């Protein structure tokens, strides 16, 4: 296990370096100019050029990249081109909002999808399985932005039960007010997440129920609950661990679409604004954090495999 951890950690630096080059090049090749955010129709061309020089955008792309990389190696993520605030400060301010939203929806997704997947597999091809499959197909097929807007239309506009935008009511600073604002975005993320996780759990559980160890367990006199809970469940969780590892970058990136729809002040809305304004220091910071968390998530998933399944641990 230590060899695996060491090998994967050593791979992080070259992978992040390659990702940074590709990301920086794509940002610079994208249409648009961040200087346009400061330009007015009657502004003198010389003033526009001075703004470009002050932002360092008059340098060749490779010079801009090495300047950015040099600052990064010193622990400096740079300053936003648009508001001149430190990028790290903006990220640290937004992470709690995204962590609360994504973390809550992820916990609810696991609580709902794992038992539902086990039930559907245990009652394969019955009406229970068909109903749950139908709901999961809807969750996978419906675009998340459309589902979010439907929730806003029904529960905020028509019924007036829940707020539709923001994280807090102006002038109100309470946990319950924030929780009320989070209900609709959490439902949106949970519904889509449950559909994906449920399919994986159900499919893998069906395969596990056909294995010989299940028949052996029943032959020993174990009950269905004991077989499902002590043996089948553990083997069925392997694909879920993979999905969890892939979900870790959402702690940084947030739910871009969901946060934009509900005006949730997290990392997703910060990233969307940075993309539209070509604020490359913010985009690069979010991209690298996401890539780093993805690598760490995959590593944690592999380690979890070794802990849960002794066969993987023995094969190294």
Distance CA 105, CA 111 (A): 10
* pLDDT averaged per 10 residues in sequence order, the chain, 316 residues: 72 84 83 72 75 77 85 82 84 85 87 87 83 87 86 87 80 80 89 85 81 74 72 74 73 73 84 83 85 79 71 58
Do residues 232 and 186 share a domain? yes
**Which pLDDT belongs to residue 254?**
57
C-alpha span between 98 and 254 (Å, rounded): 5
> Is there a contact between 270 and 287 (Cβ–Cβ < 8 Å)?
no
53: left (phi over 0), alpha (psi -120 to 50) or beta: alpha
The predicted pLDDT at position 308 comes to 67
Tell me, yes or no, whether 299 and 156 share the same domain. Answer: yes
Q: At 132, which CATH number?
A: 1.10.3720.10
Q: How many CB atoms lie within 10 A of CB 315?
A: 8
Q: Find, among 12, 15, 31, 18, the residue nearest to 278 by Cα.
A: 31
Q: Tokens 């993320």 — which residue?
A: 189
* Residue 206 maps to a domain: yes
CA torsion 54-59-61-65 (nearest 10°) is -60
The verdict on 60 and 103 lying in the same domain is: no
**Is 199 found in the same domain as 154?**
yes
Looking at the structure, tell me whether residues 159 and 291 fall in a common domain: yes
Residue 173 domain-assigned? yes
Structure confidence at residue 106 (pLDDT) = 85
Same domain, 10 and 131: no
- Provide the domain count of the chain: 2
* pLDDT of res. 311: 63
Give the domain range for residue 20. 1-74
* The last residue of a domain, from among 42, 74, 106: 74
């Amino acid at each position: 296990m230590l060899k695996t951890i060491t090998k994967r950690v050593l791979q992080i630096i070259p992978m992040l370096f390659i990702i940074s080059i590709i990301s920086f090049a794509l940002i610079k090749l994208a249409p648009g100019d961040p200087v346009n955010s400061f330009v007015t129709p009657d502004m003198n061309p010389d003033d526009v050029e001075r703004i470009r020089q002050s932002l360092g955008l008059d340098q060749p792309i490779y010079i801009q990249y090495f300047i950015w990389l040099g600052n990064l190696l010193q622990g400096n993520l740079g300053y936003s081109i648009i508001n001149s605030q430190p990028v790290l400060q903006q990220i640290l301010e937004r992470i709690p909002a995204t962590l609360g939203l994504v973390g809550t929806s992820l916990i609810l997704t696991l609580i709902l999808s794992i038992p539902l997947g086990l039930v559907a597999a245990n009652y394969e091809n019955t009406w229970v399985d068909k109903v749950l499959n139908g709901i999961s197909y809807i969750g996978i097929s419906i675009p998340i932005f459309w589902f979010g807007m439907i929730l806003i239309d029904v529960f905020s506009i028509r019924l007036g039960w829940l707020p539709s935008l923001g994280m807090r009511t102006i002038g109100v600073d309470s946990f319950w007010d924030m929780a009320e604002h989070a209900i609709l975005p959490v439902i949106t993320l949970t519904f889509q997440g449950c559909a994906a996780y449920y399919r994986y759990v159900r499919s893998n559980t069906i395969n596990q129920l056909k294995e010989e160890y299940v028949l052996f367990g029943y032959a020993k006199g174990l009950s269905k609950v004991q077989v499902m809970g002590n043996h089948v469940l553990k083997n069925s969780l392997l694909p879920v661990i993979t999905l969890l590892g892939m979900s870790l970058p959402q702690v940084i990136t947030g739910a871009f679409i969901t946060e934009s729809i509900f005006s949730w002040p997290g990392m997703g809305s910060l990233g969307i604004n940075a993309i539209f304004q070509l604020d490359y220091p913010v985009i690069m910071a979010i991209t690298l954090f996401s890539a780093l968390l993805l690598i760490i998530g995959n590593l944690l998933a592999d380690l979890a495999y070794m802990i849960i399944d002794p066969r993987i641990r023995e094969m190294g």
